[in-house]
Amino acid sequence: MPKIGPVSLPEFPLLLAPMEDVSDPPFRAVCKDNGADLMYSEFISSEGLIRDAIKSRQKLDFSEEERPFGIQIFGGDEEAMAMSARICETVNPDLLDINFGCPVKKVVSKGAGAGVLKDIQLMVRLTEAVIKSTKLPVTVKTRLGWDEQTKNIEEVAERMQDIGVQALSIHGRTRSQLYKGEADWTLIGKVKNNPRIQIPIFGNGDIDSPQKALDYKNRYGVDGIMIGRAAIGYPWIFREIKAFLHNGEILPAPTLEERIRVCKKHLEKSLDWKGPVVGIHEMRRHYTNYLKGLPGIKEYRYRLVTLNEPSAINAVLDEVSENYKDYEFERSAIELINYHEKCPL
């Protein structure tokens, strides 16, 4: 069973990816309910933490029920990364993760996220600064490389392990690909099967079904899988994968009653944590997959993403529940929602 420092994980854990404006406490709560084994905060700017920016500080919030839990930070300055790591340590997470994978221009242009992939020496210095400043286990989330010509993940993995990184999550695309095309897990498998690599290696990218999870587990030998976009509006992906991995069982699709119940819980927690304006706005990205598959649902979905009163939103959900009460869901592919501007993975 993989361990990250003192943190013990179950055999072949399923990780919830840190996703900006998605992986907040309300979303994490419904994913935890459905079997996510390790979760992370939204990625947090080291500069924002040091400036005491309200949004950055708010992202440090988590509950005891979420453990094991990691906080993810990003930045391009060694001193700022070290200081932000010490701030994160004060809220007592189980581990600290560094984002070297976000491909969004506004992050990359500051020499952070996937921008660091162009300078391995800088990546090493930033990571060492964090490791030396905290007693928490430090992990890294990254990509295959900057572009097709510079896929340096094998060297990166060895360098990261050598300086004390205790686990590595690898997204199977380069920065240049953003989220286009299929994720290439070939190099992830090479990293995992490198005899020098002893730390847990988690694969990430395009896992959207139990069958694919098992296939990639067997084919590439990774220690676990990180799931991002496939969980948006569909937290059941975790329990479905676990059932299939453990005993080959294909669980029935969640019923409409369960979808509405979980959707309402998610909305309630979103309102409690972010307030009525932001809570309602940021919930809108989740409705598509919560209700995916219902025929003629477009009208209801339009109302859900335009209404601004919780009571009105719940009334629409009740209406959906009543009008489709006899509908039986068939298993269908999960929609991998793209949020290029938000850096979801």
Which of the residues are catalytic? Answer: 102
Q: Which residue has the tokens 């399923």?
A: 14
The answer to whether 337 touches 232, Cβ cutoff 8 Å, is yes
Q: How far apart are CA 2 and CA 13, in angstroms?
A: 8
SS3 content of the chain, % helix, strand, coil (to 5): 45, 10, 40
The answer to whether 170 touches 153, Cβ cutoff 8 Å, is yes
Q: How far apart are CA 61 and CA 153, in angstroms?
A: 32
- Helical H runs in the chain? 25-33, 46-50, 54-58, 78-89, 105-108, 120-133, 153-163, 186-192, 210-220, 237-247, 256-283, 287-290, 298-304, 310-323
Tokens found for residue 156 = 């990166």
Paired residues of 171 in beta bridges: 143, 204
